[in-house]
Amino acid sequence: MEKIIDESVQGNSLSLKKDEKNTRNLYIESYGCSMNFSDSEIVASILANEGFNTTQELENADLVLVNTCSIREKAETTVRKRLEKFNAIKKNRPHMKVGVLGCMAERLKSKLLEEEKIVDMVVGPDAYKDLPNLIQEIDEGRDAVNVVLSKDETYGDISPVRLNTNGVSAFVSITRGCDNMCTFCVVPFTRGRERSRDPQSIIDEVNDLGAKGYKEITLLGQNVDSYLWYGGGLKKDFDKASEMQIATAVDFANLLDMVAVAQPKMRIRFSTSNPQDMSLDVIRTMAKHDNICKHIHLPVQSGSNDILKKMNRLHTIEEYFDLIDNIKKIIPDCAFSHDMITGFPTETEEDHKATLAVLDYVKYDYGYMFAYSERPGTLAARKMEDDIPNDVKQRRLSEIIALQREHCLLRTKNHLNKVQEILIEGTSKKDDTMWMGRNSQNVVAVFPKENYKVGDFVNVKMNDCTSATLIGEAVDFGKSN
């Protein structure tokens, strides 16, 4: 689930330990990015205090919540299909209530109540603390909506319950919202302005996870490198901060350092980095601490300067290459992954070739590649015609994917014949005599179980590989245990 959009977890329902005092059943299903999965844990935590136990059986639910994604049209279509399914169940269970959370709730607001007749409640990503009141409203037979975006909500004071956890890795959110206004992206509209969470509440949460036996955390935000704490408030208001606030401000490099020092035995990852906001201080902090994993998710979206400009990505491709080169100088074994969009308005074959050239230059370890999907309300939708035919988008996309696949194999092969520390996450999906875990670079490795257990750090000798998986054998316990 470290990825941006992990196809294998889309639509997962989440459950936790039953509290005997609670009498109603909540079914909560999540789509989209890691932040949504993390938010669902906050929602479940709030509702556990309101008399709800989680269930994985839709047919037993008294309240069904779906945490939605708006990033591409397909994400919204999937949710609408799920709502049809909920409708069929509701016919036999008329008291069952249905609520839509997250980005689709924010984007469509009360329109969702009109368009989707079965929806009783619409709650945007900054309004989850209002859920107790909203649930009371629907209990009394009224529809309920809260889509107010906040200047300061970070849910820093809510200790999220961990849903469907392996007890090894957890997400910790550090920023909410995004100020970047990439012209294709709906996130700034659905998740609001950027704000950072109090570092002390982050450290407390990380320490609590450490005490509970977790071994790896991923710091989450739409743009983690932009993290800036100066006592609260929006990032854009930093220019109004007092001298004292400026002198004591905490940026992302400081935060990473604090987290790495607080839990030296824990692995630390972060996602997502925006090239224009990533500082070399962050890279130096990564280099300084063994427990900060050597992998950066660094979306680029296109290789063409013309397209980058039209996307309002605030860097050129040359600046991006400089950043990659500098990172490699400081951390030679750093792995990179990317997000790429093909078929943005006006994209020519030349632009497309420039994108392929970026893949060739960086040779990413892996990537997430998408055909451009026009999102209502974004600048691109308002100002640019979605003029690349679907078959061209699909052909370009398959060329990008094919090249990326070659690079995946190339990068995975680099780890062969080395001994690397793997954190065991669980049993391999394909073979239950093998453990599955990852190395620092986030490459999956499998190896025979022997007497090791979930959560152990194990030194594994890498003997073989497929394009995305290393196959090895345990040598001994790793030093991070």
Cβ closest to ligand F3S, residue 113 vs residue 186: 186
Pick the closest to residue 401 from 355, 469, 336, 442 (CA basis). 355
State both tokens at 315.
């860097």
| Member of 215, 375, 396, 411 binding ligand SAH (CB under 6 A) | 375
Local structure of 53: helix, strand or coil: strand
From residue 216 to residue 245, what is the string marking binding to ligand SAH with x (rule CB under 6 A)?
Answer: ------xx----------------------
Q: How deeply is 151 buried, as exposed, middle or buried, from its count of CB atoms within 10 A (0-12, 13-18, 19+)? A: middle
Q: Say which residue the tokens 């996307």 belong to.
A: 311
d(CA 143, CA 159): 28
Helices (H), 50-92: 73-92
Is 178 annotated in some ligand binding site? yes
Which of ligand SAH, ligand F3S, none has residue 407 at its interface (CB below 5 to 8 Å by kind)? none
The residues facing 474 across adjacent strands are 460
Which of ligand F3S, ligand SAH, none has residue 71 at its interface (CB below 5 to 8 Å by kind)? ligand SAH
Local structure of 229: helix, strand or coil: strand
Q: C-beta of 330: minimal distance to ligand SAH in Å?
A: 23
d(CA 281, CA 30): 35
Q: Say which residue the tokens 């790793």 belong to.
A: 478
| Member of 127, 307, 341, 424 binding ligand SAH (CB under 6 A) | 341
d(CA 339, CA 157): 32
Which of ligand F3S, ligand SAH, none has residue 375 at its interface (CB below 5 to 8 Å by kind)? ligand SAH
Cβ closest to ligand SAH, residue 74 vs residue 479: 74
d(CA 151, CA 65): 25
Contact 44, 38 (CB under 8 A): no
d(CA 12, CA 383): 36
| Member of 13, 173, 274, 440 binding ligand F3S (CB under 6 A) | 274
**Residue 373 contacts ligand SAH per CB under 6 A:** yes
d(CA 395, CA 40): 36
Contact 405, 390 (CB under 8 A): no
Q: C-beta of 48: minimal distance to ligand SAH in Å?
A: 27
Contact 207, 165 (CB under 8 A): no
Which of ligand F3S, ligand SAH, none has residue 4 at its interface (CB below 5 to 8 Å by kind)? ligand SAH
d(CA 14, CA 193): 28
Q: Which residues in the 30-89 window bind ligand SAH by CB under 6 A? A: 33, 71-72
Q: Which residues in the 129-168 window bind ligand SAH by CB under 6 A? A: none
Is 185 annotated in some ligand binding site? yes
d(CA 71, CA 372): 10
Q: C-beta of 236: minimal distance to ligand SAH in Å?
A: 17
Cβ closest to ligand F3S, residue 13 vs residue 226: 226
**Residue 223 contacts ligand F3S per CB under 6 A:** yes
d(CA 145, CA 99): 10
**Residue 222 contacts ligand F3S per CB under 6 A:** yes
**Residue 299 contacts ligand SAH per CB under 6 A:** yes
**Residue 278 contacts ligand F3S per CB under 6 A:** no
Q: Between vectors from CA 387 to CA 381 and to CA 392, what angle results, nearest 5°?
A: 125
**Region from 40-48, 182-190, 276-284, 455-463 binding ligand SAH, contact rule CB under 6 A:** 182-190
Is 334 annotated in some ligand binding site? no
**Region from 147-155, 184-192, 321-329, 447-455 binding ligand SAH, contact rule CB under 6 A:** 184-192
Is 33 annotated in some ligand binding site? yes
Pick the closest to residue 47 from 77, 75, 67 (CA basis). 67
Q: Give the DSSP H or E segment for 97.
A: strand 97-102
The residues facing 345 across adjacent strands are none
Cβ closest to ligand F3S, residue 181 vs residue 402: 181
Q: C-beta of 69: minimal distance to ligand F3S in Å?
A: 12
Q: Which residues in the 168-197 window bind ligand F3S by CB under 6 A? A: 178, 180-182, 185, 187-188
Residues binding ligand SAH: number (CB under 6 A): 18
Annotated binding site: 33, 69, 103, 178, 182, 185
The site for ligand F3S (CB under 6 A) is made up of 178, 180-182, 185, 187-188, 222-223, 274
Annotated binding site for [4Fe-4S] cluster: 33, 69, 103, 178, 182, 185
The site for ligand SAH (CB under 6 A) is made up of 4, 33, 71-72, 184-185, 187, 222-223, 272, 299, 301, 339, 341, 370, 372-373, 375
